[in-house]
Structure 1
């Protein structure tokens, strides 16, 4: 018995439909690619100028998937902010001293140029909270951080005459300075602000500065100074 051209006696294998777990993994991988592409694009041109088409092209996906997974450009920007907040050092660890936590907080900003550039772009184009797509997440994280600093202040880790909110803002500024002011870091410190050696040195110096913010350390230093003056007298 003859067979039709192109036909085969071997039965064709039916294509297996992906299992729900596989579809979930594929979706997570696609979302991760989109998010990574968005981080690169936003750090290069800023959130105000970033184009959804450019993000989709870098991620190798249809731009409609950005709307599907993130609800559009603003949702993607919120997802970037949430990712940084998940990675950020928290103040909640009571087992670590405040100087160590502050040093890690500052070191994280100084060592992550991409995240810091995005933060700078957001600031340059900031024209009020009503136009900030990540305002709620940003405010919630800031409120938690300030509350934790106040608790540490109550335990004597932060001098009573310091405003925890201003301390937090100063820490953020210290963290982004090496990335945003590399020319000044080079002029002042004579070093490449993005080199691992400088970031390590800068972080350690911030730890030492943070120790001076503690009322306990300040009191100990004052007693030590009085002791030296008494001995010299």
Structure 2
């Protein structure tokens, strides 16, 4: 009898804050699944059905929350720009900034693959605001290196542009060309040994003359 009464008892309606929390959790699952899907296949190769399957959600929710595949990509790139901005807080030395960037790149390979895919032309939004923001961020990074050179922290024998390029190459090489990293240096591409060696060698190259 008691079991029958419980079965007939109406379910408690979810509170607004509970529904909001569930929606946020679903959005985050979709974004994480999309990051993995884009990292593995690029934007062109990824499918919303694949993202939905990874996230364990109905495919229609991707359109509901993000407006489709492009909307998911836009949100991921917005978050990437925020991540990058947080890696170089004021007061850090160049070595500390590079170490933070290197660790973030290698510890978050799906994010890094997303950047590499875009560099290979797998980008539906060339010229979009995010692209312009990237150019502005690059210009500021170069200006920051020049200020460090003027202050005597880094050598001015090497061009600021080349220092920035070299920093990106060292960070992304283990993701884009892991076999070359291991063959040349004899260490695992994502290892602590690779990271320490990069810091030491870059510091030696950029030490003031």
TM-score by length of 2: 0.80
Which residue number in structure 2 is paired with residue 204 of structure 1? 196
Which residue number in structure 2 is paired with residue 188 of structure 1? 184
Could you list the per-position Cα deviations for residues 14-68 of structure 1 after superposition, in whole angstroms to 9, with x for gaps in the alignment?
3332222112111110010001110111111111211112111221222222122
C-alpha RMSD of matched pairs (Å): 3.0
Q: How does 1:164-179 map to 2 (within 5 A)?
A: 164-179=160-175
Query: How far, CA to CA, are the matches of 1:74 and 1:128 in structure 2?
Result: 8
Report the Cα offset of residue 133 of structure 1.
Answer: 8.2
Q: How does 1:1-233 map to 2 (within 5 A)?
A: 12-88=8-84, 90-94=87-91, 96-126=92-122, 130=126, 134-160=130-156, 162-194=158-190, 199-212=191-204, 214=206, 217-219=207-209
Could you list the per-position Cα deviations for residues 129-177 of structure 1 after superposition, in whole angstroms to 9, with x for gaps in the alignment?
6376842453454345344434434433233454434422321111011
Query: How far, CA to CA, are the matches of 1:110 and 1:11 in structure 2?
Result: 52
Shift >6 Å, 4+ stretches: 8-11
Q: SS where residue 82 of structure 1 aligns? A: helix
Taking a change above 3 Å as real, the CA distance of residues 12 and 114 of structure 1, as seen in their structure-2 partners, is same
Could you tell me whether the CA contact under 8 Å between 1:66 and 1:73 is conserved in 2?
yes
Query: How far, CA to CA, are the matches of 1:9 and 1:205 in structure 2?
Result: 69
Could you tell me whether the CA contact under 8 Å between 1:90 and 1:145 is conserved in 2?
no
Taking a change above 3 Å as real, the CA distance of residues 56 and 168 of structure 1, as seen in their structure-2 partners, is same
TM-score by length of 1: 0.73
Give the structure with higher Rg (CA): 1
Higher relative helix content: 2
Taking a change above 3 Å as real, the CA distance of residues 201 and 93 of structure 1, as seen in their structure-2 partners, is farther
Specify every segment of 5 or more residues in structure 2 that has no aligned partner in the other structure, as ranges.
Answer: none
